[in-house]
């Protein structure tokens, strides 16, 4: 598989957050833990990320990942 990864990071030393281009100006953000995809969402790529990810996109992706994980943690604590 030839993934066009625009940006990735390891959040909390355990969650792989990755943004992969799906078409011009569009990508998919995924959050995985131990190889299992926990979350995926479509996202836009500012300037098509031609020269790399834009800093405002990165901040948005980080916030999306943290919001998802915070919600997941809250759900797990409640159950």
Q: Name the pTM for this structure.
A: 0.87
The segments of the chain whose pLDDT lies below 70 read 1-2, 75-77, 79
- Domain encompassing residue 14: 5-78
Overall number of domains in the chain = 1
In this structure, the dihedral spanned by the alpha carbons of residues 8, 73, 44 and 1, taken in order and rounded to 10 degrees, is 50
Write down the pLDDT at residue 31.
98
Give residue 21's region: left, alpha or beta (phi > 0; psi -120 to 50): beta
Maximum CA extent, the chain: 44
């Amino acid at each position: 598989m030839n993934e066009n990864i625009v940006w990735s990071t390891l959040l909390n030393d355990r969650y792989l957050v990755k943004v992969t281009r799906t078409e011009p100006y569009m990508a998919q953000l995924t959050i995985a833990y131990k190889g299992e995809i926990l979350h995926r969402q479509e996202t836009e790529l500012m300037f098509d990320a031609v020269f790399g990810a834009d800093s405002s996109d990165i901040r948005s992706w980080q916030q999306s990942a943290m919001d998802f994980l915070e919600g997941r943690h809250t759900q797990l604590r409640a159950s």
